[in-house]
Chains A and B, each alone.
Chain A
Amino acid sequence: MQLSRQVEEKLGSLYRSGGRIVGGVYLGKGQEAFSAALGVQLVEGKDVYGPLIRDQAGRIAFGEPLLDCFRTYLGTATGPMRGRDGNIHRGRPKEGMLAMISHLGALVSVVTGVLFARRLRGSLGDTVGATSIGDGGTSTGAFHEGMNLAAVEKLPLIVSVANNQFAYSTPNSRQFACEDLLLRAEGYGVQGWSVTGTDLASCLKGFRAAVAAARSGGGPQMVVGRMLRLGGHGEHDDASYVPEEARFSHLGQDCLMVAEKTLAARGLASAEVVRGWEQEGRKLIDAAIAQAGREPLPDPYRERWDALSTSHLVEGRSE
C-alpha cells in the first residue's frame, strides 16, 4: 500500500505537469489498505482478479509489474493495452488479471465466468476469483445480476465493496436506501463480511477469512469496507462537494498513517524502516517511468485495425 501511494502520487504529479500522461488519472488514495488486503490473499498465476478504478494497491499486491501501470498511463505500444486502452483499463486476462471495461458492475459476471469454466473443465481446485466495486457501482443492474448468478452457481468469488461515501459527487443517501450495503449479501444468499476500511489489520483479517471461506467451498463472499476517498474522483476533480465533517470523521482517516502507527505500536516496523521502504519504492518507480518513457508510442500506420481475431473475416482487409 505504501508503494501504491507513491505510484499514485507520481501519477498525479505527472498528470498535473501535463504532457506525458494521455487521458485521465484515477487514484485509490485512502483505499490502499482495503484494496491491498484483498490482493495479498490472491495467488498470481492461480487465482483470477478483476481490479477496478481504485485498486492500484491490490494490483501491486497481486503481482502486476509497475511497468504495466506506467506503460498504460503513458500509452506506449509496449504495454498490455498497446495504446488501445488506457490508465486503469488494463490487464492480462490469460495471466489471471482481467482488464476492466468502464461500465461498472460488468466484471462481476466475467470473473464468475472464468471460475465457471474452470469448474467445467475440472481445473477449479481451490482457486478463487475476486473483483471490486464502489458504493455507486452496487446500484447497477450488472452488479445485481452478477452477484445473483455467482450465488446461484455457488462459485468461489470474492467481491469487495469499497464504500467510500461518494460515487463521483453523489453521496450514499442518493445511491441506496438500505442501512448498510452489507445487508445485500444476505439477499443474494452469499456470506457477508464487514471490515474497517481505514484499518489494514481489520481489512487483512476480513479478507483472509473471506478468501479462505471461498477456497474451501463456501461460495461467493462479499466484503464491505467503509472509508473516504482521499482525493477527487479523478485528478481533474477537486472533490469540493465532500463536506468538512466527512474529512475529519473517522472515515476520513488515512489508512497509510493508521497502518504505520500499528506497525510501530506492535513493534513490526519502525518509522525508519518505513522510510527505507519509501526509498526502495522511489527507485522502483523512477526506473519503471524511465523505461516506459523511452519506449515507442503506438503508430497508426503499424496498427492492425482489426477487432476480430479471425483475420479473413475482417472487412476491408487489403492483404
Chain B
Amino acid sequence: MSLTYLEAIREAQYEALRQNPDVFLYGQDIGAFGGAFKATKGLAREFPGRVFDAPISEDAMVGLAVGAAIEGARPILEMQFADFSSVGFNQIVNQAGTQYWRTDVPCPITIRLPSGGTPGSGPFHSQSMESIYAHYPGLVIVTPATVEDAYWMLLDSVELNDPVMFCEHKFLYYHLKADSLGERSLPIGKARIARPGRHATVVTYSAMLHEALKSAEELQLDGYQIEVVDLRSVKPMDTDTILASVARTGRLLAVGESFPWGGVTAEIVARVSAEAFHLLDAPPMRLNSKDTPIPYHPNLWKSHRPTVTTISDAVRRLLRY
C-alpha cells in the first residue's frame, strides 16, 4: 500500500469522523464534490449529515465552528486555500484564540489550511500563514512535513481541546508518498531530528524540510554533515530540541517559506541567540521567501521561495564563517 500526504489527510478525517460522533466537517465544496483538492472525497457519503458544504463566508465559518465547539462539537474546517483564511482572521484570532482564556470554556476546533506555493498558483493561492497565526495567543500551529505526521497530527489536532491551525502543504499533497501510516509517535509540540549531523543545524518545517534534506545530501558530497530538525509544530516550538542540536553543531540556519519580516524563522534565531549564544560558532542565519507577493510564473516562483540551491549557499556561508 502506498499513500500520499493528501490521502493521509483524508484518511485522518475519515478516522476522526468514525471515532467521535461530535466531529463534523465544514467547508466550501467539501460535501458530495469532495473538496477542491479532494481531501474529503467520499466522506459525505460515508458519514451522512456530518460533512457540510459552506457558503463562501470564512468569517462565519469560523464563528460557526466556535459556537459549535462551545456546545461540545469538534469541528474540522477546511479553508479552500490558506490564503482565504485572512477573511476569517478576526474570528480565528479574536474569537477562537481568546475563547478559553476569557471564558474558561475550551475551543476544540481544527482549521485546515491548504498552504504554501505550487507552480502557477500566484499571489493568492500560495500563502503560508503559520507565522501570522503563531503571533497570536491561544492557537496551536501545526505544520506536518511527512505523510505520517499529516495523518497522526491531524488526529491529534482534532483531539486537542484548543484551536489548531493545521497548515498542510499543497506542494506535498501528491508528491509525497509513504508505504504506511506508521504508528502514532511524537506528540504535537515535539520536534524531530530528520537527519543527524554535526557541522551545522538547519531548523525547518513543512515543505521546506524536503528542500533542506536535499541540500544536506548535496553538502554531504562536500564532506559536511548537516543536521536537519523538523519542527512539526511551530507553536508550541520545541526549543529544547533546537538548542540541543545547536549545542552539537554550533551553527544555525532557520528556513521557512513564509515572508521574511519576522515570523517563525526570526523566532528560532531569537530564541537560540538569547538562550544559547555561548554555543554558537557563527552568527545564526535565516532564510525565507522574498519580500514580495508570491509570483505566478514558475520561473519567478522558483526563485521567490527558498530552494535546495539557496539553502546550500546559505549553509556554505554559515560553515565558512
Enumerate chain A interface residues (CB-CB to B < 8 A). Answer: 80-81, 84-85, 89, 91-94, 98-99, 101-103, 106-118, 120-121, 141-142, 145-146, 148-149, 152, 306-310, 312-315
Contacts and interface: CB of A to CB of B under 8 A. Distances in A.
A98 B103 CA distance: 9
Contacts of A89: 102
B67 A106 contact: no
Interface string B21-42: 1101000000000000000000
A149 B55 CA distance: 7
B60 interface: yes
A264 to B, nearest CB: 42
A21 to B, nearest CB: 19
Nearest to A304: B101
B155 interface: no
B71 A114 contact: yes
A309 B106 contact: yes
Interface stretch (B92-100, B249-257, B302-310): B92-100
Q: Is the interface of A mostly helix, strand, loop or mixed?
A: helix
B73 A117 contact: yes
A142 B66 CA distance: 14
Given A89-B102, A142-B90, 9 more contacts: A81-B102, A81-B103, A99-B102, A113-B63, A113-B70, A121-B71, A146-B63, A148-B57, A309-B107
Nearest to B62: A109
B67 A109 contact: yes
Contact of B67 (A111, A121, A309): A111
Contact of A101 (B54, B67, B94, B138): B94
Nearest to A315: B236
A84 B63 contact: no
A81 B99 CA distance: 11
Given A152-B55, A308-B162, A315-B236, A112 B102 contact: no
Contacts of A112: 60, 63-64, 67
Nearest to A113: B67
8 contacts: A102-B94, A106-B63, A108-B63, A121-B22, A148-B60, A307-B137, A309-B162, A312-B189
A16 B169 CA distance: 55
Nearest to B106: A309
Contacts of B100: 307-309
B33 to A, nearest CB: 16
Given A120-B49, A313-B162, A315-B235, A103 B64 contact: no
Contact of A106 (B58, B70, B91, B160): B91
B140 A308 contact: yes
A116 B64 contact: yes
B181 interface: no
B188 interface: yes
Closest 9 CB pairs of A and B: A113-B67, A109-B63, A117-B71, A145-B60, A113-B64, A145-B57, A117-B68, A307-B138, A109-B60
B262 interface: no
B72 A117 contact: yes
Contacts of A117: 67-73
